[in-house]
Amino acid sequence: MSAPMGGLDGTLPLLRLAVRRDRLRLTVWVLAIVGLTYFSGNAMGTAFPTQSSIDAYGRSVATSPALVAMTGPPLGLDTLAGIVINKVALTSIIGISLLAVLTVVRHTRSEEEEGRSEMLRATVVGRHAGSAAAMLLTALLSVLVGVGTTYALIGSQVTAG
């Protein structure tokens, strides 16, 4: 008699398979989002060279209801780092959201439509292992983008204060 199978059995092998299958695609996504932050940080240093130009930008954003609606409340716009985050945040959020949705769909629904998930379920793989692997991969990608964004800001010489 065999041991009962748990719902998450085989999650780590499926996660390794997903990383191996999508290593190029995911690398491009992460580098694009992190690169956007890095290059924006470099560009903002030349676009706002003085504190008075930084303050003028902060005032213009604070008085624009449309910009506040799109980018959120004007926090930290008295620093260059705040301006970079304000300008890049919406694009990064959309990019990370697309990355997450497309990754989860690729490793759940697409697998099901192609018939691969049924073949995997015929082996020793738990019922929820595919979904768990897709969610875990997406969470790891989000953390990787967050860490990369931090280092991109540091590398572009954007100071926090």
pTM: 0.79
> CA-to-CA distance for 152 and 13, rounded, in angstroms?
31
141-146: Cβ within 8 A, 24+ apart:
141/26, 141/29, 141/30, 141/99, 141/100, 141/103, 142/96, 142/100, 144/30, 145/30, 145/33, 145/34, 145/92, 145/96, 145/99
pLDDT in tens, 34-63: 999 899 888 887 888 888 998 998 888 888
pLDDT of amino acid 95: 93
The counts of H helices and E strands in the chain are: 8, 0
Between 106 and 3, residue with greater pLDDT:
106
Rounded mean pLDDT of 72-84?
84
| For the chain, domain boundaries | 11-155
pLDDT of amino acid 1: 41
pLDDT in tens, 105-156: 988 877 666 666 666 665 677 778 888 889 999 999 999 999 998 898 888 8
